[in-house]
Amino acid sequence: MSKTVRTTCPYCAVQCNFDLHLEDGLAVRITPTRECPVAGGTVCKKGLASLSDLRHPERLTSPLLRIGGVLTPVSWDVALAAFADKVRPILDADPSRLGVMGSGALTNEKTYLLGKLARVGFGTPSIDYNGRFCMSSAATAMNRSFGLDRGLGFPLADIARSDLIVLFGANIAETLPPVMQFLKAAKDRGANIVNIDPRATPGLAQTQLAPYPGTDHLIAGLMLNLLNHWGRIRASAPADGAAEVLESVAHLTLEGVAKVCGVQEAELLKLARLYAQAHRPLILSGRGPEQQQNGTDTVSTLINLAFLAGHFGKPGGGYGTLTGQGNGQGGREHGQKSDQLPGYRSIRDPADRAFMADFWGVPESSLPRAGRSAQELFLACGTEIQAMIVIGSNPAISAPGAALVRERLAALDFLVVIDFLPSETALMADLVLPGSMWAEEEGTTTNLEGRVQRRRKAMTAPGAAREDWRILCDLAHAVGRGERFAYPDFAALQTEFFAATAGGKADYSGLSAERLDEQTFQWPVPHADHSGTPHPYFAPYQTATGRAKLIAAPMTVPTRALLTLTTGRVAGQYQSGTQSRRNPGLKGTPDVQLHPDTAREYGLSQGQPVRLQGPHGEAVLPASITPKIRPGVAFVAFHWPGSANELTSADTLDPHSRMPAYKSGVVSAVPVPSAAPQAAWPSRRVLAEEPA
């Protein structure tokens, strides 16, 4: 029997739609649909290759319990009994010693349920998610200034209206390919595109500036100072802090900033003039400037520039940040962050706590307070954290200082992983629970422009695998805390989720599966007759005063090391590679990109193995010598074991967002005659012992 189901791509935050064609319950073909409200029929090679992820031969189809050091298939009854035996005593003694790690890949409903499970079911404050590693600095900066965080406060189509697009560390062509059509449309209409990145990336840019990593804030601060001198300050709405911001950049000069950033004075002056003359200039930032120790302050400086020049919130202009993970936007709105409750409420706000306690039918005093951020949670494993549940995340590869993080995970008394493929983290676990893939579940996702869309179930999870939402409820029941986790079906959970957001900043309460069948909506959508909010940033803002709050960020000068690591994605892979490395349609191998001058300095030739040493570990990678990266910088993608995150710092965090400083790791490079073996993983869970 043939069937076609329209759903959303499981990969990046564009969340393209496509049709999944099935024969006798098995997916056989994917076709893009021009009715997609986001990309109009554009689907990148990762989306088109995602069919291979379904029914992969390594698919987890049974619970696995570590018995005698080996992960062994067991029944669900045995698996849940083991969970109860290990976790119930922890909850009885001190719930905060149970950690929960979520993911920006989860649907909104699972995000909501995970936060509810941690706080109402388990009573632990120790919950966070891997989006802390992605969007947290931009989110913190937007919240500081406007009381609201939606990565793009406008539809993607607005980009085509811009007459200048300045990309700060945003590799759109490789990370968000369907967005390129909007940049091309702007360029075709005469827009200038400027790429600011120490590594030249594919795209449409006419101008490339390659500053030293960690200096983006100085470029933005200089531009703001020049605009002030040229009389081009015209704030678009009431704001506090403008005078302090202008004073904080008044000392910046072309000569000084050019020297610190390692770019030409003429390049900086040209950029500032382009921005001053543009009618609808748009600044888009990615992880480049955000995954720094000063990432929050850098984004605040970009906000200040757009706001004080009079462009913030203007269609086709202003500022936006490009969310990376598939549901990275929705994943940070509904309760899996350590300081957050559903609807983008704050767990620190008494009114927000009272609302959710009443909604859930529990005393407000029983709700935990804010917990540790993701990296701090990992580093507490084996000491303050005895057991941890990880769902949809692979921190053994994706966390900074991965070797140290693996040591901490190995020190846990009990590690539980919910996943659908045997990630490196799953292979370290004491208990692995087989969950659902994107085509096997219902739900909603929210893309980078705040657009809420339906994910539709097309298939049934294979073997004994279960839908993730059911597994989370099973865990609550296993420890005798299932009273508020008895949903008769998914629709009941979804209805509760929508209602829980009512009155919050990210209000989805006007949505339903039926409405989303008819069209998509950009939040907030506060009632059933509301048509959505494409442009949410307008005065009065959601701050205490209703005015924007501009933050005067320190114009600090980073110390320039001999070789600085920057990390990122490449087009053929995705995140920690749990899916993409197994997909025959997606290619790529790890290497270290170095400028020819840097290669000569270290005596390296093309393809030669290089031993890179970071603060917590090392990696041996072949050299890829290219003039498309500035001297003194090494680029390593993070999709593979033994690559970028063996070298990043585990304990250097942004003081405001607690974002790890992925892009500022300083490394040493030594040529080696042949590829050397990687450092051993924790002996307690040696991967070679695992079944194939």
Could you report the per-residue pLDDT of 560-605, keeping only the tens digit for each?
888 999 998 888 888 888 888 888 888 889 999 999 999 999 999 9
Q: Where are the domains of the chain?
A: 2-53, 64-134+334-485, 152-321, 564-689
Residue range 388-402, pLDDT digits in tens? 999 999 999 999 999
Does 686 have pLDDT greater than 70?
no
SS (H, E, C) 209-247: ECCCCCCHHHHHHHHHHHHHHCCCCCCCCCEECHHHHHH
What pLDDT shows up at residue 691? Answer: 31
Q: Which fold is adopted by the domain 2-53?
A: N-terminal domain of TfIIb (2.20.25)
Does 665 have pLDDT greater than 80?
no
Res. 321 pLDDT band, cuts 50 70 90: very high
Q: Give the distance, in angstroms, between the CA of residue 687 and the centroid of all CA atoms in the same chain.
A: 27
* CATH code, residues 564-689: 2.40.40.20
Does 226 have pLDDT greater than 50?
yes
The answer to which of 38-52, 103-117, 126-140, 365-379 has the lowest mean pLDDT is 38-52
**Tokens coding 410:** 């190995």
Q: Classify the C-alpha dihedral 287-288-290-293 as positive or negative.
A: positive
The answer to which of 553-562, 643-652, 660-669 has the lowest mean pLDDT is 660-669
* CATH code, residues 152-321: 3.40.228.10
Res. 652 pLDDT band, cuts 50 70 90: very high
Distances (CA, A) of 691 to 53, 71, 419, 468, 686: 20, 7, 17, 24, 11
- Alpha-carbon Rg of the chain, whole angstroms? 24
516: nearest Cα among 437, 446, 621: 446
Q: Is 335 left (phi over 0), alpha (psi -120 to 50) or beta?
A: left
Query: Residue 624: what are its φ and ψ, rounded to 5°?
Result: -115, 105
* CATH code, residues 64-134+334-485: 3.40.50.740
Range ranked top by mean pLDDT from 35-49, 77-91, 602-616: 77-91
What pLDDT shows up at residue 323? Answer: 85
Query: Residue 425: what are its φ and ψ, rounded to 5°?
Result: -70, -40
SS (H, E, C) 15-68: CCEEEEEEECCEEEEEEECCCCCCCCCCCCHHHHHHHHHCCCCCCCCCCEEEEC
677-683: average pLDDT: 42
The answer to whether 321 touches 299, Cβ cutoff 8 Å, is: yes
243-252: average pLDDT: 97
Query: What is the pLDDT of the chain when averaged over all its residues?
Result: 93
Residue range 141-151, pLDDT digits in tens? 999 999 999 99
What pLDDT shows up at residue 674? Answer: 54
**All residues at 6 or more sequence positions from 170 whose CB lies less than 8 Å from its CB, including other chains:** 197, 284, 285, 286, 288, 322
Residue range 337-365, pLDDT digits in tens? 999 999 999 999 999 999 999 999 999 99
Q: Which residue has the tokens 């009885």?
A: 92
Higher pLDDT, 588 or 220: 220
What pLDDT shows up at residue 618? Answer: 92
Number of neighbours of residue 680 by Cβ within 10 angstroms: 9
